[in-house]
Each structure stands twice: as structure tokens, then as C-alpha cells.
Amino acid sequence: MIDATRLLVGLEDYQSTATRHVLLVREDFEAVQRTWHRLDECYRGEAADEFQAAWLRAASMMNDYTDGTDAILVMLRARIEYLRSVDKPTGLDGI
């Protein structure tokens, strides 16, 4: 028999942890971006051009990561809502 309540608690905990994680990653990355913009205003030359290209790739990868995490969280919220709907006396245990 599936213990839907136990599964639901675990998924809600995972969702909470993942949400906090992505918020912290965003905050930290925004701080690094602010620093990068200050550096970019005064850093010149070939090394600056190379660093800028690397920075833009890293920023793109970070955006992909946070967008992907957001998509996972949307899917997880939908699964949690479904599990809540079946975690009732007439849900999984009542089938």
C-alpha cells in the first residue's frame, strides 16, 4: 500500500528546500553580477574581452539553471497538489 501522506510530507520538504536554494542562488548571483558590472565599467583590453566572454557564458548557464529549477518546482507543485487530492479517505487508500 502506498503511504501517500508520508510521500506528501517528503515532497513538501523537498519543495521547500529547493525553493530556498534557488532563492539563495539568485541572490548570490545578483551580488556577483553587480560586482561584475562595476568591474566591466573600468576593465579594458584583451584580458577584459576574454573575461567578458567567459562571464556571459557563465551568466547564461546560471540563468538556464534557475529557469530549469523553476520549471521543476512548477511540476513539483502540481504533483503535490495532486497527491493532496488523493491523500484522503477516498483517495489512494480507498481505491
Residues 6+ apart with CB under 8 A from 66: 22, 25, 26, 29
62-87 pLDDT tens trace: 999 999 999 999 999 999 999 988 87
Q: Supply the pLDDT for residue 88.
A: 72
Q: Supply the pLDDT for residue 36.
A: 92
For the entire predicted model, the pTM comes to 0.75
Q: Supply the pLDDT for residue 73.
A: 97
How far apart CA 70 and CA 21 sit, in angstroms, is 11
What is the chain's pLDDT, residue by residue, as a tens digit (95 residues)? 568 888 999 999 999 999 999 999 999 999 999 999 999 889 899 989 999 999 999 999 999 999 999 999 999 999 999 998 887 765 555 54
Q: Does the 4-86 domain belong in CATH 1.10.287?
A: yes
Residues 6+ apart with CB under 8 A from 7: 83
